[in-house]
Structure 1
Amino acid sequence: MAEFGVQRVLMGRLRRGDDILEALAGLARQHGITTGWIQLLGAVERARLAFYEQAQQVYRDFTLDEPAEILAGTGNISRLAGSDEPFVHLHLTLGDGQGRAWGGHVLEGTRVFACEYAIWVLSGPALERHPDPETGLKLWRPA
């Protein structure tokens, strides 16, 4: 476990057509964010999401190629081991026009219709993601 304080909170909106992951990573680079927590809401024009198959340790991706509301968006900013670039890990729950919910791990190609964000910039130790042999994922190392 690591302890963090909140340095500041950035709030704003992404532009229509932005790739959500690219835009959030760009904000992290621009503002020097190494560790942060993300929350967002709004809508997407299309979404590329993935589900992690635990037994096979692979992501299964799918596309929702229609407008959808962002019912909940949450994620974090850290670094991949050996990289100075911010890594955005984001999950979305989306609602379609029939009231059905879709969700998963966000992949590049998820396009914004309208999106408002809040990023809690955290002070404390830099978090790095390392390969975890037990799960096959890149996870934060325990303190």
Structure 2
Amino acid sequence: MLVFRITPGKDLKNEIGSIQKKNNLEAGIIIGAVGSLQKAALRLADEEIIDIEGPLEIICANGTVSPEGIHLHLAVADKTGKMTGGHLKEGSLVNTTVELSILEYEGTFKRIMDPETGFKELVILN
């Protein structure tokens, strides 16, 4: 398992991409992230992208990472406890810290365009 601390002001999605490259990670499962964000950029289920101003606490984060991309779902709570969740987009900036845990998978993850969904979907190679 790989564990990292992402520091204030960093873009969460970009930092995960940097971690993937630096560690030559062919297949990883993001099993959690604990910390806070200054703001979050999320794609909702209807594909609308929203920006949420913080401070925000990360409540839940999980997904996959490969050389072909990051697929992370994130739930955050604002100062009143209201939660919002969606697909992580660039522009989600760390507030005080994010402690990120990635479990390495002993295969390879690829993302291939699926004509049925219109998205690059996960293909698992062993």
Deviation of 1:142 after TM superposition, in Å, equals: 7.0
Establish whether residue 115 from structure 1 lines up as the match of residue 98 from structure 2.
yes
TM norm structure 2: 0.91
Which residue among 11, 15, 37 is the counterpart of 1:23? 15
- The 5-angstrom pairing of residues 15-94 of structure 1 reads 15-38=7-30, 39-53=32-46, 59-80=47-68, 87-94=69-76
**TM-score, with length taken from structure 1:** 0.81
Q: Is the strand fraction higher in 1 or 2?
A: 2
Give the structure 1 partner of residue 110 of structure 2.
128
1:91–1:105 CA contact under 8 A, matched in 2? yes
> Aligned with 2:34: secondary structure?
strand
Q: Cα RMSD (Å) of the superposition?
A: 1.4
- What CA deviation, in whole Å up to 9, does each residue of 1:84-140 have, x standing for no partner? xxx11111100111111001001000001110011111112x121111111111102
List alignment gaps of at least 5 residues for structure 1.
1-8, 54-58, 81-86
Alpha-carbon distance in structure 2 between the residues aligned to 1:31 and 1:62? 31
Percent of matched pairs sharing the same residue:
29
Larger radius of gyration: 1
Q: Distance in 1 between matches of 2:20 and 2:49?
A: 25
Structure 2, unpaired ranges of 5+: none
Q: How many residues are treated as equivalent by the alignment?
A: 123
- Structure 1 segments of 4+ aligned residues over 4 angstroms from their partners: none
* CA–CA distance in structure 2, aligned partners of residues 69 and 48 of structure 1: 14
